Amino acid sequence: MRYDPNKHHRRSIRLKGYDYTRAGVYFVTIVTQNRACLFGHIVAGEVRLNAFGQVVAETWQWLATQYDYVELDEWVVMPNHLHGIIIITETGDGGGGSRTAPTVIGTTVPTVVASDAPTVKRKPLGRLIGAFKTVSTKRINEYRGTPGVVWQRNYYEHIIRDERSLKRVREYIAANPLRWHLDRENVHAAGTDPGDAAWFGG
């Protein structure tokens, strides 16, 4: 199905019957309410995060320390959205791994198949994203001293199924700051970037 920005814009594009608690590698995009640029700006193709952006970066990494079965791969905080690869492992022995900087490394899909270790009860992807949104919103609101909505109600997600797809997503995330002038989340963009769903065939 062809991507329609009016129909699919950051809405949940979930696979019917898919168990989002299962081990897997997922690319997610989370956008601010009204696409407001709350987290910083882009200078010469590089992200310059403000205090709110630092909170978002820290909270994203918090996911991997809060939940043993969560690992983080490539990710980047943009002025009004976050792109990240989140890995839900089969067991809770992932060690809370996280990349602290958006650098493209490697081309192998992380192993998420069953092992001899006991399985753990895992939250579905949506609840992990919900926890991230809740914690980051609370911290930002505490910082600015006033309550407010930070994130859009939903998020975009794409299941990464093979090494080629993983490589493509990593490259997309790493290059995101360089494409900010075309990014459809940028309200001032010249605007020819088709967006995540079109880019990855969603």
- Domains of the chain, by residue range, sit at 5-185
The pLDDT value given to residue 119: 58
pTM (predicted TM-score)? 0.78
The pLDDT value given to residue 2: 38
The pLDDT value given to residue 195: 57
Query: Residue 89 is which amino acid?
Result: T
Q: Smallest Cα–Cα separation from 70: which of 138, 127, 9, 147?
A: 127
91-134 pLDDT tens trace: 765 545 555 444 333 334 544 444 445 556 899 999 999 999 99
Number of Cβ within a 10 Å radius of residue 108: 8
Q: Which fold has domain 5-185?
A: Alpha-Beta Plaits (3.30.70)
Mean per-residue pLDDT for 68-88?
A: 97
From start to end of 16-63, where are the E strands? 24-31, 40-43, 46-49
* Residue 76 to residue 7: CA distance in whole angstroms: 26
Burial of 154 (0-12, 13-18, 19+ CB in 10 A): middle
Average pLDDT over all residues of the chain: 81
